[in-house]
Amino acid sequence: MKFARITVDPERMGGVPCIRGLRIPVATILAMLTEGMTEQEILAAYPDLEPEDIKEALKFATEAVQERQLLFVTVL
């Protein structure tokens, strides 16, 4: 799947995936959603974002999880 709104540039933000070349990491958007922020609250906090940016951040995270093997530690 190709992501038109997600960019990775080694010269920006240490190469972490960001939204449209902005200095807004995908992980920041995901963390805000995880903390319970609404789409409107995120858009208000980052006026340069568009609703489609948030949707694509979620799609990107879904794809990343599907493509990687995750290791879990069992705590006894």
Q: Are 41 and 17 in contact (CB under 8 A)?
A: no
Residue (of 57, 56, 33, 60) closest to 45 by Cα position: 33
Q: What is the pLDDT of residue 44?
A: 98
| pTM for the full predicted model | 0.83
Return the HEC string of 33-67: HHCCCCHHHHHHHCCCCCHHHHHHHHHHHHHHHHH
Query: Where are the chain's structural domains?
Result: 6-67
What is the domain class of 6-67 according to CATH? Answer: mainly alpha
- In tens digits, the chain (76 residues) has pLDDT values of 588 999 999 999 999 999 999 999 999 999 999 999 999 999 999 999 999 999 999 999 998 888 665 555 555 5
